[in-house]
Every structure is written in C-alpha cells, then in structure tokens.
Amino acid sequence: MVLKKNPNIMSKKIFIKTFGCQMNEYDSNRIFDAVKKIGFEKTDKYEDANCYLLNTCHIRDKAKEKVYHEIGRVKKIFREKKKPIVIVAGCVAQAENQEMLKREPYIDIVIGPQSYHKINDAILNFLKNKKKEEETEFDTISKFNYLSQIKNKDSKVSSFLTIQEGCDKFCHFCVVPYTRGPEYSRPFNQIINEAKELIQSGAKEIILLGQNVNAYSYDEEDKEYRISDLLITLDSFDKLERIRYTTSHPKDMTDDLINVYKNSSKLMPLVHLPVQSGSNKILNLMNRKHSIEEYVLIYEKLKKINSKIEFSSDFIIGYPEEDEQDFKMTMELIEKIKFINSYSFIFSPRPGTVAADLKLVDQKKSKQRLEVIQKKLFDNQIQTNKSLENKILNVLVENKMKDGIKLFGRTEYMTSVIFDGNIENIGKIVQVEITSSNQNSLFGKLTESSKKKVA
C-alpha cells in the first residue's frame, strides 16, 4: 500500500496537545506521521491551526472535565477566526465516544487509541461532507500494520517506541483495559525495524513502552519472543547508547528479563516497577495479582545481579479499606527499598471499574497519609541527589534549555541534569561534574575531558 499526499489540502496546520503518559506522546508523534501524508504540517502556535487535536488521558482525576475545559478555551481562541477541525483522541475519547459529540457540538471527530490508522480518512471525510465522526473500535492489529508502513521520523535523542498495548490484569482501580483494550504485542520484526528508523533519525536512547510492557509476548514460527529478546537485540545496535522500558507489572518480571541485566551494557539500571501498596490485604483488594514478598524477591534478585540497580514506583494512598496498619506496611516497604523516584496519589474512583462504588477512606485521613508518604519519598530523592554532588556522572545530552544557554540531559537513573555546554554536545554522552542539586534535578559543569572531545 503506497500512501500519497493529497495535493488538495496542502499547507494545512495541525496543533497537537498531549495529556498523560509516554504512550500518548508516542501516539501523538505517530498521528502526526500519518496526517503529514494528507498535507498537514505541525504548528506550535494553536492560533494558526486548521486542525486542533487533543490526545487525552483517562488515568488522572477529572480527566473528562479537563477535556471540555480545554475545548472551551479553544472556542474562545477561535471566536473571531475560522473554526479549526477539532479532534479528541486518546483514552477519554474511547471512554466517552458518542457522548462527546452530543455534549459538545464544537468537537468534530472523536477517535480512540486503537483507531489512529483511520484518522486521515476521518479528516478527509469531514472536510468533504462536514459529517462528524466517531471511531472507537478496538482494532490494534490494523493500526500497527498501517503505522508500520509510515516511517517513524521522531528525531529526538531519547525516543519512545510502543511494543505492547492494552491490559488483561483488570486491577480494580484501573480503566486501561476498557480504554486500551486487551493485551496486544506487536510483531517482533516490526518493532526492530521501527527501532532502526529511530536510530537512523538520531535516537541514542530508546524507551520501550506498554501498559504492561514486560508482558510482551509474540509468537512466530514456533518461537515466543519476549521483551528480553527485544532488549538483547537492541543491545547489539552500535549507534544506540541506552535502553529503557516502562511500565512494568511485577507479575511479568520473569527471570529471563531479570537476567538481561547481567550482560547488557545498554539497559539502564533504573527499574520502574509500580507496587501501589505495601499491604498484601490492599494488593488483594486491588486485584494486583502479586504479593509484597514476590515484589521484594524481584528487588533482591536484581540487586544481587547489580548492586547499582535502583527502583522507582507508583503508590495509591487511601484505597478503600486501607487502615493505619496497611499504611504502615507501605511506609516500611519504602524504608526497605528506598525508591529514588516515585509517584503517589490519593485513590480516585474511575467510572466503570470495580472500585468505583466502594466506600472511600476519609479524605482528611488520606491527605494526611499522602503528605507523610510524599515527604518520605521526596526525602529519598533529595538525599539521593545530594549524594551525587561533587561526583562525575555520564549524561546523555538531549537538548538545549529554553534559555538558549544551558543544556539538558539525563543520568543513567533518568535524573535531569542541567549544565553549561554547546550544541555539539547534544546526542552525546558526556561527563558532568555535579555541583549542586534539588529534589528533581542535578546541576553541574562539563568536565575538561568532555570539553576536549567536542573541541
């Protein structure tokens, strides 16, 4: 199938606003790769757009209302101008579908995450017939087959690559199985070919993405390909410097994946592994399918392989029936593992999930617990960053800061580093001496040896 530009709609401009996770960022990039084929250029100025696309996320609280608020803002911006085509994409679009078109007439197209291969037809049909469209079928195979024919020209130093979508875990608090569908793993060679395209476009780091990324499993010719096979293959690519993957589930942290850390020189030593709670009682109520003992065993196996491996995680505070003992267990787990970077939130019910109608923990209590846990997690971050002062770290330089003077890069543990340098450093791993730090970032100066390499 040859995809050609349509000469009738050249020089149209699309503004894409992305909410939520890294997969949405990847999706937005691939959406743009698709709409380029029908003549759209990307604009960073929303007021110049002929097409305004919101790629939405349903994970956080009030996600739906945020979308309608954003549409209200767009209406004001274009009050005195020609209305753009307004598209709502992503997980809120999937969850709300036809309801969005009924509630907000300003929206023209609603398209779910598994229907992005239909976006060009939807836009062209709307331009021709002015007929509103809703596309929210789960058709993951067709989507990735279509997108595999379009080069991924993401030229970022650190680039995302989706390998798996959807979820079969059905955690009682989570909407992902309903908005992204069942677990689907892309063909192995399709992923490797896209990785090669990214590397050709300048990617030095690839981050493999999936709702359950380590559940990746693709069968071909009597062989099962796992995420471990992908990691080993990527490790062999000369021009690729770093490999990461997110988000993992403890249930799928199998020994073949753990063992990759023994031999891979490019797989980074930060493991993001959401635990959600330190209490087995709460994990069982959440339907998480793993125990704290199993989680700690994964931690111990990885630390035994490489003592420099560190963990980050996600925590839900105030899940229904959480009591002081459950909360204490979560604090004990944090004390044991000393997560260097984590996300924590008060439980927020999601319509359609098992936990949606459960009795909430007193909100005042939940807020107090969140404050306690965040202080502990943030203290861990601050102490970790403080311990790196006066040390020399390897930093992959990603871009220039908005001030146009300093450079931005990341350590092996994903920590942000801001330092003086020049554009020749971008895309390279340089050595930076850390001079100061705060909770989220490190600050430093390029070492003399790194300066000489560039010169």
| Residue 21 among known ligand-binding residues | yes
Q: In whole angstroms, what is the distance from residue 19 CA to residue 55 CA?
A: 6
CA–centroid distance for 268 within its chain:
17
Residue whose token pair is 């002062």: 389
Q: Please state the φ and ψ torsions of residue 241, each to the nearest 5 degrees.
A: -100, -35
Q: How many CB atoms lie within 10 A of CB 121?
A: 12
Q: How many CB atoms lie within 10 A of CB 73?
A: 11
Q: In whole angstroms, what is the distance from residue 252 CA to residue 280 CA?
A: 18
Helix (H, G, I), strand (E, B) or coil at 302: helix
Name the nearest CA neighbour of 87 among 43, 42, 41, 135.
Answer: 135
Q: H or E element: which one contains 13?
A: strand 12-18
Q: Are 228 and 192 in contact (CB under 8 A)?
A: no
Helix (H, G, I), strand (E, B) or coil at 74: helix
Q: In whole angstroms, what is the distance from residue 203 CA to residue 210 CA?
A: 19
Q: How many residues does the chain have?
A: 455
Q: In whole angstroms, what is the distance from residue 338 CA to residue 390 CA?
A: 22
Q: H or E element: which one contains 165?
A: strand 164-165
| Residue 51 among known ligand-binding residues | no
Pairing of strands 205-209, 223-226: unpaired
Angle CA(289)–CA(312)–CA(280) in degrees, nearest 5? 30
Name the binding residues for [4Fe-4S] cluster: 21, 57, 91, 167, 171, 174
Name the binding residues: 21, 57, 91, 167, 171, 174
